[in-house]
Structure 1
């Protein structure tokens, strides 16, 4: 692949290749934008088919974190790491400590965290070598498992979307079809059930489905049927790209609000939802609770403070996205991008103005 062309396309700042023959480390750190502050993004461990695929994933995810952090109002930029390897077989203390040394060498430009294929215990091994890691266990004064906080943010964002459609943010009696009942979705279901929502659930893991049926009186359906059920809200909480040419025509929901990343298979699917009159709460806006939570660690973690910020920020951000979409008559996925880009541009402009003024002062001297 033409790496510099890829970096120039979306103005990436840095791509770092990390290799350690002794531990077997092969990692790529991508830093997209540090306008708002140091880049924060997790370390993903995955068995990529090719090195080019790993690079593309790192770049895509890093840019996504720039938008997520900007939209969430955080003073953080976007970055991401991909570690090439099997998370079930290739992990070792030496590998993560080697990676930690690379993170430390960036001197705070990049802060890492857990992601797909990595865990809190992995972060603790990285922590031996660097100060720039979040998502470690509460024993070290950190936040631990981010799933409950992410779930609470999705719940709050869903309520904001419900208010837009129904005039009230009450979930009482609303029918929510939840795709995937993993850690985040299970906690989300609890919030919804406690407020009186009626749940329809599906998952390839039958035990997860049964637990939701028993504890939340949910109705179980086959995975292929979740798109076409009669419901008020479709909540994708498993794989990405579930909003596509095949599924969107089946949807009967008025709202889409879930925790999954990359819910739109392509941007055109956001346009399709707009044309159908379905309110879509953009994924990186509504699922930002986890990153808001770990970002609080940078100030000395306080759970109550983090939860308050998640509660207000995500609700208000979904309201803002819906308002921008209405104002500009554009789909909500574009409105979310506009909200993030406007914040980035304001800070860039203020920095440019500061530098220009500083240059004029020095010139006069």
Structure 2
């Protein structure tokens, strides 16, 4: 043995447990895939509408392909589906591609959270829903939603509900100089004995794609009163929504689901407001796209869960100013490089507001703008880079 000559044939190589053939990076093109519109997402299952507005229209439930596991898929997305796309009960298609989006509404959890969260895709219009009272309206939230809408290229609309509880005029005066469509809605409580079966707070039927027992299916339970909305306000809002994809955004308890029920004939669960915290109770756990009742093709409304915060970490500070058209013109007299925030020296916005060009609400509007600019972490990152700390 000592005199034996060794060569490469004596080397023993252990076989690869995953196989000797390397996996190809080429993926199938799925040219035979059908297109579907995602209407809701629930625990890894995507409910889609295929062959929309045709005789062959059907609902198809799909699971996301492995290669898309890092790609967010949200209500409003158009996706490519393969496999069993018949829509028959107990069938499951495979979602293999997300088509290019016309618009994307994003938010971050907080202003210092760098992770963007896609809210909805392909929306034409954003309805910002606030209540005149119970819960009290927050102009900071409205301003943030306006920034997100303008940044996404989505037309905003302000819907003020519960105007029977409090005069919304002071709130609306804040935005009177903006090219912003406003709809005001009032509610009137009715006794539930009359038509309990039609109560919008009654038992919620199972939603397709939502398993029984899920938060979305259970909702918040029956409400003690049915709610009748102002017919004129509903009709006025309908005029703005027909033929468009609209997303409703607002805090819990402001009446989003109530308005959705009135517009679509659905039975979305509705909830009240906590008397101690003044916050609404969550009754929707995921975004859901619904057709407008009797509307032209392409008319969809997307009800989103009530949100606690709407961060703008993803929005460049230079674009935040575009959401304040009543102030933007005042920056023409600013020195070059002025950031218009609370630390700015001789900012043209101060003189613009002092001269009354932004109206009586100018000081409040300027303070709101500067709060948003001061909260945006990209400003801080820019300063840190200039100082050489990053």
Give the TM-score band, short-chain normalised: under 0.3
Give 1 or 2: higher strand fraction: 2
Give the TM-score, by structure 1 length. Answer: 0.24
| Rg larger in structure | 2
Bigger helix fraction: 1
